[in-house]
Amino acid sequence: MQAIPNEYEKIKRLSSGNSNRFGEVFLLKRKSDGELVVLKSVEKSNQLGFDQLKNEAQFSFSTAGLPEVIDIQESENEFYFLKKYEEGISLNTYWSKIKKRKRLSKLKEIVSSLEILFDELEKNGIIHCDIKPENILVHEINEKTNCSLIDFGLAFIETNLK
């Protein structure tokens, strides 16, 4: 694993047991201001993981709810990038905690939040290719439900839009 950049401290591992396949993911905190970031790294010898991580690093947005890449580094043996941390829990975890009587209103909020993100992707000709509940993070601010879309490892830019 890539050494943690000096200006950050490791908080915890975010990647699951399949880190050998796709690399490692850690939550870091910047020492100077406490800002949370995500470090994704992979050894270059892991060709599939390297290709996906390098692909994911090219997608950076200024729209809330979409990933913003902060830094990209590559050494002889490893590749890593830092991106802003997106708050939230997976959509399936969030949904399982919603009371049945509130599900319709929460579903409307989720769809409304996702519509903004999908519009931004469409505007930029980006096809995500891995939309699933684990890649949609949900969080609430002042009782308003917001979503973030993560994991752009399989995404690509459609060059022949109609």
φ, ψ of residue 96 to 5 degrees: the values are -65, -20
* Closest of 155, 77, 98 to residue 121, by C-alpha: 155
User: What does each of the 162 residues of the chain score in pLDDT, given as a tens digit?
Assistant: 557 888 999 999 987 655 556 788 999 999 999 999 999 999 999 999 899 999 999 999 999 999 999 999 999 999 999 999 999 999 999 999 999 999 999 999 999 999 999 999 999 999 999 999 999 999 998 889 999 999 999 999 998 655
- pTM for the model: 0.88
Strands 69-74 and 126-127: unpaired
Q: Is 142 exposed, middle or buried (0-12, 13-18, 19+ CB in 10 A)?
A: exposed
Strands 78-84 and 69-74: antiparallel
Q: Which domains does the chain have, with CATH numbers?
A: 8-84 (3.30.200.20), 89-157 (1.10.510.10)
pLDDT at 1: 55
* Closest of 125, 127, 152, 121 to residue 59, by C-alpha: 152
- Please give the structure tokens belonging to residue 81: 């990038």
Sort residue 45 into left (φ over 0), alpha (ψ -120 to 50) or beta: alpha
- Are 49 and 21 a contacting pair, CB within 8 Å? yes
